[in-house]
Amino acid sequence: MRLIIASNNKHKIREIREILGHRFDEVLSMRDAGIELDVVEDADSFLGNARKKALETAALLPGDAVLADDSGLCVDALGGAPGVYSARYAGEGHDDAANRKKLVEALRDVPYEERDAHFACSMVLVSDGKVLAEAVGKVCGKIIGEERGENGFGYDPLFYYEPFGMTFAELDPETKNSVSHRHNALMLLLAALDEENA
C-alpha cells in the first residue's frame, strides 16, 4: 500500500518517511501523487483539521493510505492561543514575522515563569474513508521575549526548549526533529499501528 502525505513540505515528508517508510511500499507527497487539493481547515481543533484533511484527500486516492497533520502553538497565559489560528494569528495575509511580533506583544507584561507553552501536532491516518489511527504529539517549552536563532520557521525563534537551553531556531534540524511535536506524534502513530497489527 502507498502512503500519501497530505503535504508538499519536503522536510515533513522526509521525517515521516524515516519513521513510517518501512510500513508502506511507497511514501509520496500530494504533488508526487498528482493531487492538487486545498482543504479549508475550519475545525475547532488540530485533530479536527487533520481528520478533515485526511478524509478529503483520501477520497481522491482509493486504495491508498493518506496521512494528514495539523499543528500549532498553544500558550497557557493566552488561554491556549494562538492554537488552531497559529498560522494566521496576526490576521489573513500576514507572515511568520508578524505572528511572532504579535505574540511578543501579547506576552509583554507576562513574567517568564508564566510563559509556559507547547507545540501540538495531531496526525490522522486514513484509507478508503476509514480512520486507521490518530495521534497527538506535544513538546513543552517557554516563550521568550526576543527572537533567537536562524533555523526553523514559524514560532521557533521564540520557543525556548529548557532541556537544551536553546530555542528551536537555535537547534540543528536533526536535533529539533528528535524532540519535536511532529516526531512525538509520529512515534505514537507508529505505536498505534503496531498495536493494531499485533
In the numeric block, the cell 475545525 is attached to 43
Taking only Cα atoms into account, the Rg of the chain, rounded to an integer number of angstroms, comes to: 17
Spell out the alpha helix ranges (H) of the chain.
10-20, 46-58, 96-106, 173-179, 181-197
Residues whose CB is less than 8 angstroms from the CB of residue 126 and which lie 6 or more positions away in sequence, other chains included: 51, 54, 55, 57, 58, 65, 66, 67, 68, 132
| One-letter amino acid for residue 61 of the chain | L
User: Residue 84 has what DSSP assignment?
Assistant: G
Q: Which residue segment(s) compose the domain that 50 sits in?
A: 2-197
Backbone angles phi, psi at 143, to 5 degrees: -100, 120
Q: What is the pLDDT of residue 198?
A: 60
User: Residue 116 has what DSSP assignment?
Assistant: E
Distance CA 102, CA 81 (A): 11
Residue 42 appears among annotated catalytic residues: no
**CATH number reported for the structural domain that contains residue 109 in this entry:** 3.90.950.10
Per-residue pLDDT of the chain (198 residues; tens, 9 = 90+): 899 999 888 878 888 888 888 889 999 999 999 888 888 888 999 999 999 999 999 999 999 999 999 999 999 999 999 999 999 999 988 899 999 999 999 999 999 999 999 999 999 999 999 999 999 999 999 999 999 999 888 999 999 999 999 999 999 988 998 999 999 999 999 998 888 776
Split into its structural domains, the chain has a count of 1
Which residue among 25, 38, 42, 70 is the active-site one?
70
